[in-house]
Structure 1
Amino acid sequence: MKKKTCCVVLVGDQKCGKTSLCKAYLEGSWQKSTLGTTEYLPTIDATYKTNVEVGQKQIQMTIRDTSGQEAYDRLRPLSYTDCDVIAVCFDVGNPASLENVRVKWHPETIYCCPHSSTVLVGCKADARGTKRPGAATIVRKNECQQMAKTIGASDYVECSVLDESSLSHIFETIARVAKRQHKTKRTGWWRAVKRKIFSK
């Protein structure tokens, strides 16, 4: 039997936490002592493969991590090729990051891949429990859920690199959304065929 596959692209502002989310999930852990101590290195484009279990079935997931820098605005659309799900990420501790979901990331992704599903991902959710030095007002969860509705996201999920279970939940949610996306595509294809046959 052919193994089920899906492709997810992570997008969002620079330093919003999407690369940390990806690496912490793939490596299985994240050392708390390293947070805020390592030099920030911007992502240009990185692709990873992993297996995610959904309903006792393995899905081979391709994860593409993209740069949020404006300098890569023209290159980033290349990462959207054959994408099933867009994970639009933002920093829970930065309201401007959430607003950029509406003004930048949603317009870009809907233009580049209008038929892909979207999952809104709140990164650095541990900010809700502890006020980070110099951090802006924490975004309320109901505001995040409202933004998910505004952009037509299939789901809204939050995570922290300090909580491994929340990381797994993110990618399990993405895999389920991709599974529904594939089912919708198949159903839509068959309906189109039937319309063509019976309209003759």
Structure 2
Amino acid sequence: MHTMTSSPLILASTSPYRKRLLERLGIPFQCVSPETDETPRKNEPPEALAARLADAKALAVSESHPLAIVLGSDQVAARGEILLGKPGSIAAAQKQLALCSGESVSFYTAVSLARGGKVIARHCVPTLVTFRALTDRQIAEYVDRERPLDCAGSFRWEGLGICLFTALESTDPTALEGLPLIATCDLLNSQQLGVLQN
């Protein structure tokens, strides 16, 4: 990956997952930490939260890099009214997966572009994941083998986590990894930063 400071594109993230996904497009970019508060507001719907945080990340970096196009992204997972964040510990991951066992969980992955301190484009991709009925032993084995402690919902679908599901519904499977590449391509094309130029 090119990391030139003259790159017109900045990923407002230090997530290795989003960095790896964006690298697939072969466009030069650099990563800058957005340093944003990700606390949900009272009664904020998960889709609105994802969009607001994607905007906030893009804007935070855009203010200090006004000439660049800044890409911000955020993902929010919810089982009904319960938000599922990054577990951070083995016990929390096991608890989250037990909560999801046999249930459907909605993931909302938003991507925003900002330039000159203003949001210029945004898209949010919903994904519905249906979990198998999991035993405590299956949950413990999965968490021990994959250690998904930095993943919303406590799994990595691109790895062993796919075994936890009976179904996955989305217009863009990369959204579940943290950056919807189909939507990202559309947004970048609109700013003449596309992979495949006309």
TM-score of the superposed pair, with normalisation by structure 1: 0.35
Bigger RCO (CA 8 Å, 6+ sep): 1
Higher helix share: 1
